[in-house]
Amino acid sequence: MTRVKIKEILSLSPQGQEVIVKGWVRTFRNNQFIALNDGSTNNNLQVVVDFNATEETILKRITTGAAICATGKLIASQGKGQTVELNATSVQIIGDSDAEKYPLQPKKHSLEFLREIAHLRFRTNTFGAVFRIRHSLAYAVHKFFNDKGFVYLHTPIITASDAEGAGETFAVTNFDLNNIPKNDKGEIDFKQDFFGKHTNLTVSGQLEGELGAMAFGDIYTFGPTFRAENSNTTRHLAEFWMIEPEMAFYDLNDNMDLAEELLHYVINYALEHNKEDIEFLNTRLLDEEKQKPQNERSELNLLEKLQFCVTNKFERITYTQAIDILKESSHNKKKKFQYLINEWGVDMQSEHERYLVEKHFKKPVIITDYPAAIKSFYMRQNEDGKTVRAMDILFPGIGEIVGGSQREERLDKLEARMNAMNIPTEELQWYLDTRRFGTCEHAGFGLGFERLVLFVTGMTNIRDVIPFPRTPKNCEF
Ligand code: 4AD
Ligand code: MG
């Protein structure tokens, strides 16, 4: 006989068949009822122990957190809350858990506390649901692109370029930090470093992705990216995963269509394949909302919000239109924004993004054609000489979830912009070569994976949707 996972057991019709289960004890009641979980589903299997026929020493070791193996017959349950249960004929202890010391007690713990014991939090209902959904979303991303014939390109983690040009990178070196080699001028001599030059962890795979698109047509990356921005917010991580498709012969409209289709697809995928987990999180959120005053509660619950998102087209407006809406808003006039919108050209803060999405349009919004001055060097320049073919997708409760653009494919324009922004062209000759040899219209975007998981799970802090978050002054586990 082989072990059967609890998810499968719970779908069987009980006919007294013999099964073996292995998992971790969540609770043990009345020396008789074990709630057993093996991670395959949020639902526990009720294992009923015959305490008269079981040794006292074994009963004592059935404690919260212990790993056990139970063999028995599957029968219809008399009790409330489950349809089947396992009538155990034998229980073996695989790994003991000292109930006094085990940090997870059978009660509700705060998310903050669970973050401190992130090595154990997968064993809670909430994090079980979150990380099964995260898995499904990752799978759905690959399936979406695979079905469309995109090539999954592995772009490098260590690089000598700073793709976004924002300078917020983590250096990579194997210098002895107590004895860093200097040259005649007293500067750090990177020639002596491992790669013979200054290197860092990638902030984006886009530039290398563009090289792939110029050969395969359609590619995507899906990997970790790193940013040393000192933003201690609920939406920023120093290490996060990003999905970056890059497509030849696409303009900005094609790019927006693809991004919208991708988001609809992956959210739908989770709704279909993670029904139980989403319903669990929905209930959890509703309970939390009850603690809030009526006017602070969300209009839609999690399920409704996800349904709404997949059935409605996103609003598409230009940056200029967005600024006009914000400038004229009663929020701005009553000085309710921390940063008031007075002029064209300012970067939007998250309060403005959220106003547009949550108050004004009440649905996801795509903003296009941003001022060139606040966007990266590679974006295609518009005829007006002021704006670029950029697009950001803003989601309710999240703000920016996608950032992308049509790329500047004209060599002269691209070089002029790089010079104006003091981006050294010598180091990016390989990138400029795509504009020299068979250049073409192309576009792409980056979807922040954790922001997507935040949205689908309804969690509010990005630290709770990545297994081991890296944030300023925090690198545990
Ligand atoms: O807007 P960003 O910086 O765009 C790029 O990196 C482009 N190279 C993408 C491209 O066109 N291929 O980042 C893209 C997305 C953001 O919209 C956001 O969802 C996410 O990545 N993101 C972060 N997520 C978590 N923590 C951070 N510190 C993030 N910074 C960006
Ligand atoms: Mg961005």
Which domains are seen in the chain, by residue range? 6-107 (2.40.50.140), 123-168+203-464 (3.30.930.10)
Q: What is the pLDDT of residues 133-170, one digit of tens each?
A: 999 999 999 999 999 999 999 999 999 987 777 779 99
In this structure, what token pair is assigned to residue 151?
């090539």
210 ligand 1 Cβ < 6 A? no
Q: What one-character-per-residue DSSP string does 310-334 give?
A: HHSPPEEEEHHHHHHHHHHSHHHHT
The torsion angles phi and psi of 426, rounded to 5 degrees, stand at: -60, -40
379 ligand 1 Cβ < 6 A? no
> 3-state SS of 215-266?
HHCEEEEEEEEECCCCCCCCCCCCEEEEEEEEEECCCHHHHHHHHHHHHHHH
Q: What is the pLDDT of residues 420-455, one digit of tens each?
A: 999 989 989 999 999 999 999 999 999 999 999 999
Q: Are 235 and 451 in contact (CB under 8 A)?
A: yes
Give yes or no for residue 295 having a pLDDT over 90. Answer: no
Give yes or no for residue 80 having a pLDDT over 90. Answer: no
> Relative to the alpha carbon of 405, which ligand is closest?
1
What percent of the chain clears pLDDT 90, i.e. is strictly above it?
Answer: 90
Which pTM does this prediction carry? 0.96
Q: How far is the CA of 39 from the centre of ligand 1 (A)?
A: 31
Q: Are 427 and 160 in contact (CB under 8 A)?
A: yes
Look at ligand 1, atom 28, and give the residue with the nearest C-alpha: 236
Eight-state DSSP code of residue 164: T
237 ligand 1 Cβ < 6 A? yes
Q: What is the pLDDT of residues 165-189, one digit of tens each?
A: 777 999 999 999 999 999 999 999 9
444 ligand 1 Cβ < 6 A? yes
Task: Give pLDDT, residue 170.
Answer: 96
212 ligand 1 Cβ < 6 A? no
399 ligand 1 Cβ < 6 A? no
Q: How far is the CA of 58 from the centre of ligand 1 (A)?
A: 52
Q: How far is the CA of 276 from the centre of ligand 2 (A)?
A: 33
Q: How far is the CA of 339 from the centre of ligand 1 (A)?
A: 23
Element (H, E) at 158: strand 158-159
Which of 162, 451, 465 has the most ligand 1 atoms within 8 A of CB, as the residue to mutate?
451
Average pLDDT over residues 281-288: 94
72 ligand 1 Cβ < 6 A? no
85 ligand 1 Cβ < 6 A? no
Q: How far is the CA of 84 from the centre of ligand 2 (A)?
A: 49
Helix axes 252-273, 275-290, angle to 10 degrees: 90
Q: Which three-class secondary structure state does DSSP give residue 442?
A: strand
Long-range (24+ apart) CB contacts under 8 A made by 339-345 are 344/320, 344/371, 345/371, 345/373, 345/374
Task: Give pLDDT, residue 372.
Answer: 97
Q: What is the pLDDT of residues 81-132, one digit of tens each?
A: 788 999 999 999 999 999 999 999 888 899 999 999 999 999 999 999 999 9
Average pLDDT over residues 334-338: 94
In this structure, what token pair is assigned to residue 387?
């704006």
Look at ligand 1, atom 30, and give the residue with the nearest C-alpha: 236
Quote the CA–CA distance of 454 and 302 in Å, as a whole number. Answer: 11
Look at ligand 1, atom 23, and give the residue with the nearest C-alpha: 448
Quote the CA–CA distance of 253 and 162 in Å, as a whole number. Answer: 27
Closest CA to 203 of 255, 154, 240: 240
Q: How far is the CA of 156 from the centre of ligand 2 (A)?
A: 20
Could you tell me the pLDDT band of residue 297, with boundaries at 50, 70 and 90? confident
Q: How far is the CA of 431 from the centre of ligand 2 (A)?
A: 21
Task: Give pLDDT, residue 384.
Answer: 97
Task: Give pLDDT, residue 107.
Answer: 85
409 ligand 1 Cβ < 6 A? no
